[in-house]
């Protein structure tokens, strides 16, 4: 398969504001963020965020157009990429519940970790999954040693799907909790929900095929 590759540096708000293409082509957008950001899901209220704490820490607050919980993006600590799949492409799946399975399989293969597992069941919710993305588990997401290593959200139109993917290279739950408004989750409740991993663009493309 042929994928258009674009590597972009900039802020999380710039990336999330990118419109869906008028003409869909299979593509990978690899994002290198230049400033920290707390990204909230489309259905989340900003009342969940301690805006004053974010301002003091120099953390931009960004709303994405896909669902799910909050994700803290820090330069050098997260791998973030989008995969664009046009309708009719071999990777396209009409069933939204199955649409991300394949990207989970790609990332699992790229990590080359025997214990990595692609979740193909229904959404798994926990006490804090409505607030923090990596505290829950959705279809197509990947666990390593029982902890979530790949988070995926989707933006879909009638012409294509944009799979937004993130992996943590470093997980600091205390910083994330400090940016949330009360009632905050205890830091210890989030300490063991994430498995960290390194994934480069070359490794992703090799597994993508």
Q: CATH second-level architecture of 4-208?
A: 2-Layer Sandwich (3.30)
Pairing outcome for strands 27-33 and 4-10: parallel
Which parts of the chain register pLDDT below 70? 1
Q: What is the pLDDT of residues 31-41, one digit of tens each?
A: 999 999 999 99
Please report the pLDDT score of residue 92 as a whole number: 97
Any idea where the domains of the chain sit in the sequence? 4-208
Is the whole-model pTM more than 0.75? yes
Please report the pLDDT score of residue 209 as a whole number: 85
Q: What is the pLDDT of residues 66-114, one digit of tens each?
A: 889 999 999 999 999 999 999 999 999 999 999 999 999 999 999 999 8
Please report the pLDDT score of residue 77 as a whole number: 97
Please report the pLDDT score of residue 109 as a whole number: 97
**Cα(69)–Cα(33) distance, rounded to whole angstroms?**
19
Please report the pLDDT score of residue 170 as a whole number: 98
């Amino acid at each position: 398969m042929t994928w258009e590759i674009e590597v972009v540096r900039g802020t999380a708000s710039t990336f999330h504001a990118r419109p869906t293409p008028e003409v869909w082509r299979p593509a990978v957008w690899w994002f290198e963020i230049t400033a920290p950001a707390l990204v909230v899901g489309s259905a989340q209220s900003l009342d969940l965020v301690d805006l004053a704490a974010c301002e003091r820490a120099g953390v931009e607050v960004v709303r994405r157009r896909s669902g799910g919980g909050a994700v803290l993006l820090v330069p050098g600590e997260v791998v973030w990429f989008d995969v664009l799949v046009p309708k009719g492409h071999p990777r396209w799946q009409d069933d939204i519940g199955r649409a991300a399975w394949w990207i989970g399989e790609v990332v699992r293969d790229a990590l080359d970790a025997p214990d990595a597992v692609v979740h193909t069941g229904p959404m798994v919710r926990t006490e804090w999954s409505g607030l923090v993305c990596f505290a829950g588990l959705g279809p197509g997401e990947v666990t390593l040693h029982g902890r979530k290593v790949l988070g995926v959200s989707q933006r879909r139109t009638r012409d294509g799907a944009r799979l937004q993917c993130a992996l943590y290279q470093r997980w600091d739950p205390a910083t994330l909790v400090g940016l949330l408004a009360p009632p905050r989750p205890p830091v210890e409740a989030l300490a063991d929900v994430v498995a960290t991993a390194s994934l480069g663009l070359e490794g992703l493309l090799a597994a993508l095929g």
